[in-house]
Amino acid sequence: VGWCRRDGTRVSEVHHPARPSSQALGDVRGRFARTRQERKEGRGRGREGMAAREAPETGTTVVAVRYGDETHGRTGVVLGADSRVSTGTYVSNRASNKIARLAEGTYLLRSGSAADTQAVGDVVRDAVERLSWEMQESPSVHVVSQITARVAYANKDRLLAAMIVAGWDRRRGGQVHGVPIGGTVVNLPWSVDGSGSTYIYGHCDATYRPGMDREQAVAFVQEALALAMARDGSSGGMIRMVVVDEDGAEEMDVRGDHVPLYHEEIDVEAVLAVR
Which regions of 121-256 does DSSP assign to beta strands (E)? 161-169, 173-179, 186-188, 190-193, 239-245, 248-254
Coil, helix or strand at residue 258: helix
Residues 212/76, Cβ–Cβ less than 8 Å:
no
**60 noted as active-site residue:** yes
Distances (CA, A) of 61 to 137, 232, 262: 32, 9, 16
Relative orientation angle of helices 114-135 and 141-154, to the nearest 10 degrees: 130
Q: One of 9, 35, 58, 60 is an active-site residue; which one?
A: 60
Residues 236/254, Cβ–Cβ less than 8 Å:
no
Active-site residue set: 60
